[in-house]
């Protein structure tokens, strides 16, 4: 009876693992980044969507809000202005960051990081880039010269249907406004997860992380 239960448990675990691997390979991750500047206000957001789950981080003014979603509906919202987040940020600021220690850690585990970056680049594809800019300088002649350079380059965007850029000059005042949207897709998330897991399981990485947590040199 115990052996049967163990076999059923192992088969169930293997089924769940294979199903998860299949989902990670077949379901792409869509990434959308947006930024907008109007007058002195800057807003930006990054949205990740994988199947029915997603996450959005949005910055507006001086506050950042993170939303977790399922089927497009927000199930949890966290604001960086919350007291708990501010206390955590204060503790991180008090602890400080040793740049030299960070560099030593990166160099020590660089082969694994390089594998992760290589897998990320291979899996990443551009979906769409849209940019709208209105600009003007204090000197109308300078504005015209800059716009002339842009007008000479912008026709190259016809080479790709995924890129759309519009530049509008304003000659009577100094201004810089516009919006930009960039969409990317990670086609096979599993191909990135494999080198990430290998990196985390590597003994050098574990040793370096342990020394960082203990406050000792990584080298």
Assess whether 52 and 41 both reside in one domain. yes
DSSP 172-207: SS-EEEEEEEEEEEES-THHHHHHHHHHHH-HHHHH
Rounded average pLDDT per 10-residue block, the chain, 219 residues: 80 90 92 90 93 91 87 86 60 58 79 91 92 92 92 84 92 92 94 91 80 58
Assess whether 85 and 157 both reside in one domain. no
The answer to whether residue 15 sits within a structural domain is no
What pLDDT shows up at residue 83?
A: 63
**Number of Cβ atoms within 10 Å of the Cβ of 180:** 16
What pLDDT shows up at residue 93?
A: 54
pTM for the full model?
0.78
Assess whether 136 and 203 both reside in one domain. yes
Q: At what angle do helices 190-201 and 2-26 cross, to 10 degrees?
A: 120
What pLDDT shows up at residue 109?
A: 84
Assess whether 129 and 152 both reside in one domain. yes
Assess whether 85 and 166 both reside in one domain. no
The answer to whether residue 72 sits within a structural domain is yes
What pLDDT shows up at residue 183?
A: 96
């Amino acid at each position: 009876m115990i052996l049967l239960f163990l076999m059923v448990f192992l088969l169930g675990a293997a089924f769940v693992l294979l199903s998860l691997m299949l989902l990670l390979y077949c379901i792409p991750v869509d990434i959308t980044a947006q930024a907008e500047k109007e007058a002195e206000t800057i807003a930006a957001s990054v949205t990740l969507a994988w199947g029915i789950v997603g996450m959005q981080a949005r910055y507006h003014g001086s506050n950042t809000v993170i939303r977790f979603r399922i089927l497009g509906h927000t199930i949890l919202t966290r604001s960086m202005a919350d007291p708990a987040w501010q206390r955590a940020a204060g503790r991180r600021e008090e602890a400080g960051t040793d740049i030299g220690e960070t560099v030593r850690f990166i160099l020590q585990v660089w082969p694994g990081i390089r594998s992760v970056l290589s897998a990320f680049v291979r899996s990443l594809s551009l979906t769409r880039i849209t940019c709208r800019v209105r600009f003007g300088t204090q000197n109308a002649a300078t504005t015209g010269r800059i716009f002339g350079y842009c007008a000479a380059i912008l026709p190259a965007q016809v080479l790709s249907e995924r890129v759309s850029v519009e530049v509008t000059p304003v000659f009577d005042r100094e201004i810089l406004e516009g919006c930009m949207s960039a969409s990317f897709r990670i086609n096979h998330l599993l191909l990135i997860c494999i080198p990430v897991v290998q990196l985390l399981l590597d003994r050098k990485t574990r040793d370096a992380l342990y020394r960082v947590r203990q406050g000792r040199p990584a080298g």
